[in-house]
Chains A and B, each alone.
Chain A
């Protein structure tokens, strides 16, 4: 059998694509499901973690692909049920499935479910029936959330909230509920159509606030208030829909994933209306005041005809604007189109849009009350923060962090205070991190299929490309952060064996690091990382001589940083041997591995050292196989597997790689049964860890196919 298959691609020793262990598999699966379904439900804690944790990122990407495929498969397996995404699907098909109702047509399809116009047969009344999208194939999270909506809506009885009639399971076992059918139009469209003035708008908002206050008193936070979720009925009354994202404040503990249908840290809600604390992803920060923020955006939009942050050039800018609270008054854009907005309404809106929840109205009832005061011509209770209040509060907050900055602050006036804090703050590092995260947050948001460039087919790699685009445009003035992020992104793309996508970021990062290193701004260790990334990129590009040069530079740098016999340095020599072997320089590769092994024998007994040593042995075994010494190679591969067993999980990609090599050598010696078993295991592991399209996986699959073909040819007929 030809020995052209490379089973020993060099890899960064630190870059083991196993989940890092911080989150259990269950959590990674949930994050993957959120990704795969591409709904807005992303567990922010994990998402944030994924920026810095390559192993977990890879695991989630793999699981998301798997989930998409299996969901599709389950749907395909469903007998006699058409499932294409056409608008008609539910109408004809669901009709017979809900006892007691006749469904006529789909009227709305949202993130959670589809809503059908229906007739309740017993009463002959028209109603709306909502069914969970994906039906009985819905994920546990979706199901839980749907059930939560039923529970929430059932507990609310208010003229401003649609009434739930009944709920149940369809003949197919799918959950549904029937609710009052509201014939109306979206709040913003209604306001536009009737040309509502500021007093009429204030009255509508008062009624909405009153309804929201009722829900809050019942312990329910809506969390997704937006024009599409508020209909104005034929009597001109606003009605709130879609409590699908609602969270009950009676949930035991918002941070316990099992206690809440909106899982901990999960960002749900529509981006434009989301409060800064919702975007921050810490569930403990989100309370009923996020609904007040959404009402602020909505109120602004109705008065001014545009959203408060419409001037933002990018989503990242929008996030930053929301966080800084640099909001214009609705009267300004309104005036530009000849509409009047009273100063009191400006004040009320700005109070609602305060980035710090503590500075908004305390309750929706207080908002309703202030709007009533405005409508009655009484003085409103909301007051803009005075300059003294702002400065005192800001200084208090930052005094200990930066005394000098606080002194400086005292000389600064007006709205520039907050900005000055960010700029003059001695803790610049914090700000840089914040920006990096907010840029990532923006990219996350732009993956939202309803708002940005996302789609249900977006995979992790597409998403990373989106992140790359976002960081390149948003962090252009922060070259150090940009280079670091590009390197990370490039290395992740490399791990997916996607050299086309990794090339750009890796070359850019390498260029930046080189300049910084020459200028003495960074040390040899980060420079070595950049060289290593470049070396791996060139290897995948099959530029072996360029790869060799980069490896040699990286080795020199690590010798400087860690010493010539350190694990980190020797690991690169091992990888360099692979590059030499690929150039046909077998003797040189062998000598380098010999030397590496001498050092490795003196390594301390850390897991990393064991992994590197196993890598060296693997390199030697592959060389042995390549020169036809399969028996030696097989023995070595078995030793490596037993050593790896101690330090890596059973599905570690290194095991897959070694099993694949072992299978190949066994096949060469005619041990077909054992070869097939090992190749099967290799394919399973590599597919799981690296993806079906990855080079190693394809090669292992090819080996397996050849073994099977050989077995078939040898089988007696």
Chain B
């Protein structure tokens, strides 16, 4: 759990993307944003295939716009830009696939006119991606012992009681509580670091009163 890897910051990634031959940068970009976009699409009720299509077309569109120099960071976060693209992909797909639903005002799909809810949906997926990365790091790269992680899993994945977890793992209930706290503490550290890596133009972020929705104009 060292300090943050400067090459992994979004700012660094974007800078590297200027070099169209930098395959590693594109891969890193894709690796970071595709799962977020997939989750975003699924959260709007799309099946896996459609979600994958949406993520793919959004990334392709972004690359296009980025190369044309259309992406202006002053106008908002990268996430907001991606969401704007994704939102119109989503509308396109819905128009093609389920005209009946729209005509009937079926509300199984979130109202896309609400920019804030769209932005929130994206942010939620971004948070999920960060948490997943943190969990992977906790398992693979930290010294947290497997019993500690197992205690957390039994408690939070399987809804077992502290007593049951203690009995299962041959621990005292107090140790189970401690294990849980330890996982929380480690995750908090890792998440804080990854958040910093994901952070985009913090100065814009701080000065913009209206968060990403400023970029959702069109």
Instruction: Give A residues with C-beta under 8 Å from B.
Output: 25-26, 29, 65-66, 69-77, 80, 82-89, 91-93, 104-106, 136-140, 143, 651, 683-684, 687-688, 692, 701, 705, 708-709, 712
Contact = CB atoms under 8 A, between A and B. Distances in A.
B86 to A, nearest CB: 13
B33 interface: no
B212 interface: no
Contacts of B121: 84, 86
B72 to A, nearest CB: 27
A84 B192 CA distance: 21
A92 B101 CA distance: 14
Contact of B131 (A73, A84, A86, A708): A73
Sort A-B residue pairs by CB-CB distance and give the 7 closest, nearest first: A76-B131, A74-B156, A84-B124, A82-B42, A84-B43, A82-B43, A66-B184
A92 B45 contact: yes
Given A25-B174, A82-B43, A136 B157 contact: yes
A510 to B, nearest CB: 33
Contact of A86 (B110, B161, B162): B110
B2 A26 contact: no
A73 B159 contact: no
A148 to B, nearest CB: 16
B44 A66 contact: no
A91 B108 contact: yes
Contacts of B73: none
Contacts of B44: 86, 88
B184 A86 contact: no
B167 interface: no
A709 B2 CA distance: 8
Nearest to A66: B184
Contact of B2 (A25, A140, A684, A708): A708
Contacts of A71: 156
B158 interface: yes
A634 to B, nearest CB: 24
Contacts of B158: 136
Given A684-B181, A687-B185, A77 B43 contact: no
A69 to B, nearest CB: 5
Given A26-B162, A91-B45, A69 B110 contact: no
A383 to B, nearest CB: 51
Which DSSP category, helix, strand, loop or mixed, fits chain A's interface? Answer: helix
A86 B107 CA distance: 11
A25 B128 contact: no
Contacts of B40: 84
B128 A83 contact: yes
A104 B104 CA distance: 14
Given A136-B158, A137-B157, A692-B189, A72 B39 contact: no
A80 B132 CA distance: 12
Contact of B110 (A72, A87, A137, A701): A87
Interface in B117-133: 117, 120-121, 124-125, 127-128, 131-132
26 contacts: A25-B174, A26-B173, A65-B184, A66-B184, A69-B184, A69-B187, A70-B155, A70-B183, A74-B156, A75-B128, A76-B135, A77-B132, A82-B39, A83-B128, A84-B40, A88-B109, A91-B45, A91-B108, A92-B45, A105-B106, A106-B108, A136-B158, A651-B178, A692-B189, A692-B192, A705-B2
Contacts of A25: 173-174, 177
Most chain-B Cβ atoms within 10 A of its Cβ — which of A26, A84, A93, A688? A84
Contacts of B173: 25-26
Given A73-B156, A712-B2, A684 B185 contact: yes
Given A71-B156, A82-B42, A66 B162 contact: no
B70 to A, nearest CB: 28
Contacts of B117: 86
B135 A77 contact: yes
Nearest to B111: A87
Contacts of B153: 74
Contacts of A104: 108
A92 B108 contact: yes
Most buried by A among B108, B117, B187: B108
B107 A73 contact: no
Contact of B152 (A70, A75, A688): A70
A593 B110 CA distance: 65
A106 B183 CA distance: 34
A709 B3 CA distance: 9
A65 B180 CA distance: 12
Interface string B155-199: 111110110000000000110011011111101110010000000
Nearest to A174: B159
Given A77-B131, A84-B128, A106-B108, 15 more contacts: A29-B177, A70-B187, A73-B183, A73-B187, A74-B157, A76-B132, A80-B42, A83-B43, A84-B40, A84-B125, A87-B110, A92-B45, A92-B47, A136-B158, A688-B185
B48 interface: yes
Given A29-B177, A76-B135, A82-B43, A140 B48 contact: no
A306 to B, nearest CB: 31
A83 B185 contact: no
Contacts of B182: 684
Contacts of A683: 185
Contacts of B192: 692
Contact of B156 (A70, A92, A705): A70
Nearest to A87: B110
Most chain B beta-carbon contacts within 10 A, residue among A83, A88, A104, A712: A88
A80 B135 CA distance: 16
Contacts of B184: 65-66, 69-70
A69 B188 contact: yes
Given A70-B183, A86-B43, A137 B125 contact: no
A437 to B, nearest CB: 30
